[in-house]
Amino acid sequence: MAVVDRSQTSPDGTLTLEVYEADDLVGFRGEAWHTHGDLLVPEYGRTANEARDAFFDSVVADGVVICVNVEREPPHRITVTDDPDGEILAAGQEAIVLRLWSGKVVGGTPRA
């Protein structure tokens, strides 16, 4: 089992973002979505570790939109997105909420 190097829970207590240094991975606890530091270069940093850490910081500073599929039982399908409008179109009949780390809702489908 991978060891969590860094972890933070959202102010509303619904999300926990974790870094697994050994795997160079960032993801939400209990959710399938994750990314790796090397995929975040050069947008977030020059090296995988730098990019991974900067991405983590950006999420918890409300700099990244989080998409939550609210129709599914936990684990919900939680992802991050740089295309909120695309997420709404892709949701089809499923209800989603677009939110920031702080819990502020920034969009979603009418059913959400």
Considering the domain architecture, whether residues 37 and 69 belong to the same structural domain is answered as no
Considering the domain architecture, whether residues 56 and 75 belong to the same structural domain is answered as no
Considering the domain architecture, whether residues 73 and 92 belong to the same structural domain is answered as yes
Considering the domain architecture, whether residues 35 and 48 belong to the same structural domain is answered as yes
Whether residue 100 lies inside any domain: the answer is yes
Considering the domain architecture, whether residues 102 and 56 belong to the same structural domain is answered as no
Considering the domain architecture, whether residues 102 and 69 belong to the same structural domain is answered as yes
State the pLDDT at residue 111. Answer: 66
Range(s) of the domain holding residue 49 = 6-60
Whether residue 90 lies inside any domain: the answer is yes
- The total of structural domains in the chain comes to 2
The model's confidence at residue 112, banded by pLDDT at 50, 70 and 90, is: low
**DSSP symbols for the chain:** -PPPSEEEE-TTSS-EEEEEGGGTEEEETT-S-EEEGGGGTTTS-SSHHHHHHHHHHHHHTT-SEEEEESSSPSSPEEEEES-HHHHHHHHTTS-EEEE-TTS-EEEE-TT-
pLDDT digits (tens, 9 = 90+) for 2-53: 788 899 999 999 999 999 877 789 999 989 899 999 999 999 999 999 999 9
